[in-house]
Amino acid sequence: MIPLDMFGSESVAADLLEQVRWRNGVTCPRCRSDLTVKNGSYGHFQRYLCKNCDRTFNDKTGTIFAHSKVALRKWLFSIYAFLRFNTSLRQLQLEIDVQYKTIYQRVERFTKSLDAPSLNLVGPVEIDEVYVSAGLKGRERDQESRSRGLSTRGRGTYDQDKPPVFTVVDRSTGDRYVIPAKSADESTIRLLLANREKEPLTVYTDGFRAYDPLTEDDAFDREYVVHGDGEYADEDVHVNTCESHGSLLRPWLSPHRGISKDKLTQYLRAFQLRRKLLRKPGREALKHAVKATL
């Protein structure tokens, strides 16, 4: 259920932020002290005075929502629609009635605030790559036809505007990760698989050469399928979950056509967050999204 009340009332939106932000108690955003007292209000937002550094702050201070003339409820709606419904920024601009630049900058701030996924692999693990077309949008306006945000199968490189995106699935935990890389090489793969709970880590891959060194390494128990070789999934040995997860990248990036490669990381973090929210009811999903930005 869409939490419509949040989007219709600034004080309900302010309550949500207050609740999520200070879930472990109020602390000063400047000096981290918890010697704070309530000190009037700032519009719909509670204001506080820090007894330690003698400065005031409010619920929005130091968050991605600070310093905006646009109502918080509109930003909450934007984040919700962006994550939940895969809404384009052009569309959001119309929905909340602000300038494109305004929505662009705030969504930018939102995606940048998201943490990198931390992998803690138990295994068996599937690993695979997809190649996403992402160029230099914004910097090379005149080259209209290059780099639309479509993901295609086939190897590419970051320099050719087709950066690889690794999909990693940990079958024991069900966790799925999408991580962009500069290139699909051995050192990148080793880095991705570095945080493992036990050794050897069972790893399923396809026949791509960059995975070959794992076969000789005692830290891994690598098995692979060769696509297009008439070889099909041998019981557990396959990367089908990676492939199906990777196939969701194309629809995710598509409304943000021509996304630039240096923005890919943050858009993929948003994609990661989107999946986490998938089964949560509207209100919980929104809380989780706000918490992820703090």
Q: Which residues bind Zn ion (CB under 5 A)?
A: 28, 30-31, 33, 50, 52-53
| C-beta of 53 vs 89, nearer to Zn ion | 53
Q: In whole angstroms, what is the distance from residue 272 CA to residue 179 CA?
A: 9
Helix boundaries (H) for the chain: 4-8, 10-21, 72-84, 89-96, 100-112, 186-192, 212-216, 240-246, 249-253, 264-277, 282-293
* 198 φ/ψ sector (left φ>0, alpha ψ -120 to 50, else beta): beta
Q: What angle do CA 73, 76, 80 make, to 5 degrees?
A: 140
DSSP structure class, residue 153: S
User: Least Å distance between CB 45 and Zn ion?
Assistant: 17
Distance of CA 98 to the CA centre of its chain: 24
Q: Which is nearer to Zn ion, 21 or 238 (CB)?
A: 21
CB nearer to Zn ion: give 53 or 119.
53
Measured from the CB atom, is 53 or 150 closer to Zn ion?
A: 53
Min CB(21)–Zn ion separation in Å: 16
In the complex with Zn ion, which residue's Cβ is closer, 47 or 283?
A: 47
Instruction: Please state whether beta strands 125-132 and 201-206 pair in parallel, antiparallel, or not at all (unpaired).
Output: parallel
CB of 56 to Zn ion, least distance (A): 9
